[in-house]
Amino acid sequence: MNKYARFMGVAFQMGAVIGGFTWLGVRCDQWLSWEPWGTVVFSLLGVILSMAMVIREVNSNK
């Protein structure tokens, strides 16, 4: 059960990272007038980073 308890917060971590980077992209769009590209780039960067966090967490618990 201990192994499974470590992964319970992974979805919330992924949501926080993706949401934070998407918010940052929206703010860059507003500030720099990049209109959809800031949001697109930063949200994809958030997805990539959150997936890297998940893969690293899974590999460290083998």
- Tens-digit pLDDT profile for residues 4-47: 777 788 889 999 999 999 999 999 999 999 899 999 999 999 99
**pLDDT score for 36:** 93
**pLDDT score for 15:** 94
Residue 16 one-letter amino acid: A
Residue listed under structure tokens 């860059």: 28
pTM of this structure: 0.85
Round to whole Å and give the CA distance between 59 and 6: 13
